[in-house]
């Protein structure tokens, strides 16, 4: 259910490259969460960097919602970039095919999820 790849880039470089790859593949970054910074403001020291990117392809999102409006709870898609304890950087996502497969039996949604997942994997491979 998790798709995770390693990168030799810094977290700053892969974060920028990820944003560029998202745009190049007709998705948009809706919001970026800097988890370490957010937790720091709450008095919690997260030892490693972690950034979460909420991304969306408007056409695909509209198609999902047209099939099942309740799946708004599963949107937008997320890509994460984080440091491990040994200073390696990883990029990952939850599989849209697996996630939507747990939420719906719709063949239409399976097709959309497969298309989105393929594009998200390409985005990750491009950014790594």
- CB contact at 8 A, 128 and 5: yes
- CB contact at 8 A, 37 and 73: no
Assign 93 to helix, strand or coil.
strand
Q: Is the pLDDT of residue 91 over 90?
A: yes
- CB contact at 8 A, 113 and 97: yes
pLDDT of residue 11: 95
pLDDT of residue 118: 98
Q: Is the peptide bond before 19 cis (omega within 30 degrees of 0)?
A: no
The tens digit of pLDDT for each residue in 4-56 reads: 999 999 999 999 999 999 999 999 999 999 999 999 999 999 999 999 999 99
pLDDT of residue 46: 94
Q: Is the pLDDT of residue 87 over 90?
A: no
Distance, CA of 110 to CA of 68 (rounded, Å): 12
Look up residue 105 and give its DSSP letter.
Answer: -
Report the candidate in 21, 53, 49 with the shortest Cα–Cα distance to residue 36: 49
Q: Give the model's confidence band at 86: pLDDT under 50 very low, under 70 low, under 90 confident, else very high.
A: confident
Strands (E), the chain: 2-7, 28-34, 50-56, 77-83, 89-94
Q: Give the model's confidence band at 85: pLDDT under 50 very low, under 70 low, under 90 confident, else very high.
A: confident
**Domains of the chain and any CATH numbers:** 2-127 (3.30.310.70)
Instruction: Give 107's contacts (C-beta < 8 A, 6+ positions apart).
Output: none
């Amino acid at each position: 259910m998790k798709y995770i790849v390693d990168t030799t880039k810094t977290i700053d470089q892969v974060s920028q490259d990820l944003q560029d790859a998202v745009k190049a593949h007709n998705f948009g970054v809706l919001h970026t969460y800097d988890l370490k910074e957010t937790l720091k403001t709450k008095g919690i020291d997260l030892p490693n960097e972690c950034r979460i990117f909420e991304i969306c392809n408007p056409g695909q999102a509209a198609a999902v919602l047209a099939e099942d409006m309740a799946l708004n709870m599963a949107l937008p898609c997320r890509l994460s970039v984080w440091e491990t304890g040994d200073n390696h950087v990883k990029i990952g996502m939850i599989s849209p095919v697996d996630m939507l497969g747990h939420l719906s039996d719709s063949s239409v949604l399976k097709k959309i999820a497969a298309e989105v997942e393929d594009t998200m994997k390409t985005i990750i491979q491009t950014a790594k």
